[in-house]
Amino acid sequence: MPATPTSPAWTRSARAIVAAVRSGSVRARAVADHYLARIERDDPLVHAFLHVDPAAVRAQADALDARIARGETAGALLGVPVAVKDNLCAVGSPTTCASKILEGYRPPYDATVVERLRAAGAIVLGKTNLDEFAMGASTENSGFGATRNPHDLKRVPGGSSGGSAAAVAAGFAPLALGSDTGGSVRQPAALCGVVGLRPTYGAVSRYGLVAFASSLDQVGPLALNVDDCTLLMEVIGGHDPRDSTSRAGAFGGPTAGDALAGLRIGIPAEYRSDALDPQVRAAVARVEQLAVAAGARLVPLELPLTQYAIPTYYLVVTSEASSNLARFDGVRYGPRGEGSDLSGMYGATRGGRFGDEVKRRIMLGTYALSAGYFDAYYKKALQVRECIGREFAAAFAQCDVLLGPTTPTPAFPLGEKSDDPVQMYLCDVFTAPAPLAGLPALSFPCGKTPTGLPIGAQLQGPCGSDGRLLAIARALERQLALDLSPLEAPRGA
């Protein structure tokens, strides 16, 4: 690959882009052109995007420049390109959920979060790749090809929001939206070296998010740094009457003051298991040391139900997926299979266009909900879910936040876990518990392996503590003093 020129200084943060566009020192069109050029040059290697329309992107930028020329400079994301996960509806773009069952489908409306991006002056850059219907931990389950980790093109970016995380890490977009059901924002954020927040359940509208597991799904921001993550969260958060699960005041907003002095940080014994990669353990231990040096206090505690989080999560999530995905039958959305009768058409559509992982989860969920097994599986999972929530509540009576690893290992090689669903599911061992309890959780970069693979640390807090988590992560980010700029080019090409 030829030598890569250094990117403009304003590419280091979304806030810098807003300031430059608002002041007139750079035009929104120039910002859009920069990111479109990066995508054109490097995304064939990474495959972060499923759809980008350069003409539409430039039209959005030109409209913003015309506004600014008239003196209209309002908008928290003025001129900032934002990548959007392809399970969020956006007018003018396909919404496929990376599934061939929705190939070519274009929604007639914007998701609430996309509406709020546009209202804040953002440029909707394109739709990013994901595991089909957000079911996966590596973005290898996409019906349109896997995404690669820009830090090492032979490794996964995580999932299911792997396209969004890879786009930010690779410098294709300063901000991105993902969705997090069991870790799908935080896990790829950790593996790609960016910041990702799963908000408190109800803090961000799910209107226009294609449902996977409705009691767990949340839209979340991804960014290069905590300040930018906070900025995006402030734009997308807030009550929405079109989402019955949306709650006013669920996002507490950022907090001021010294976030670490006197902070009680819970360190669960279960987050230091033997299965944890030594490099991840060492990186998280350094975060603990820096927090103590800044005035925090570590509180050892136990969360024994952590071992039941994965089976509980996968019973709940597959059951809800079985119900939610029943609507994709070839009648109302996307392409239709051929059959001699209605049943044959259903079978041809669903059997031929759902991928293996989606079929596996639908079948598991249907089994768990079936007569004779409902009480033993789904009902029992809901009971354990309630117990996990109570265990978290007891923990937060002893501490303010929990700190631990986001993932058990750094990014693993493409194909390593593809034939072993159980090993793939265990990638969510540290991220699945918080969604079961509706809690906010945030992953932020805390180091790298000797070969340059990112490592993420995770903060979890009580419901509504999103702003406090962001403030704590910002303070720890400053203590760590890592280089949080995007890559100038993917590695391992």
Measured at the CA of 324, the angle between CA 384 and CA 382, to 5 degrees, comes to 10
Report phi then psi at 386, rounded to 5: -65, -40
161 flagged as catalytic: no
Q: Please name the residues in contact with 143: beta carbons below 8 A apart, sequence gap of 6 or more.
A: 96, 98, 99, 100, 103, 132, 353, 355
Measured at the CA of 186, the angle between CA 180 and CA 189, to 5 degrees, comes to 125
| Gap between the Cα atoms of 188 and 13, Å rounded | 19
Cis peptide before 443 (omega within 30 of 0): no
Q: Which of 99, 138, 161, 184 is catalytic?
A: 184
User: Which token pair is 342?
Assistant: 């209605």
Counts of helices then strands in the chain (DSSP H, E): 15, 11
User: Which token pair is 205?
Assistant: 């509208």
> What single-letter amino acid sits at 428?
D
Q: What is the CA radius of gyration of the chain?
A: 21
Q: Which of 13, 85, 93, 161 is catalytic?
A: 85
465 flagged as catalytic: no
| Gap between the Cα atoms of 414 and 492, Å rounded | 13
How is 183-249 classified by DSSP, letter by letter? STTHHHHHHHT-EEEEPPTTSB--TTBPPSSTTT-EEEEEESSHHHHHHHHHHHBS--TT-TT--TT
Residue (of 260, 268, 255) closest to 296 by Cα position: 260
| Gap between the Cα atoms of 462 and 396, Å rounded | 7
Q: Which of 93, 99, 142, 160 is catalytic?
A: 160
85 flagged as catalytic: yes
Residue (of 370, 374, 358, 352) closest to 325 by Cα position: 358
How is 23-50 classified by DSSP, letter by letter? HTSS-HHHHHHHHHHHHHHHHHHH--EE
**What positions carry a catalytic annotation?**
85, 160, 184
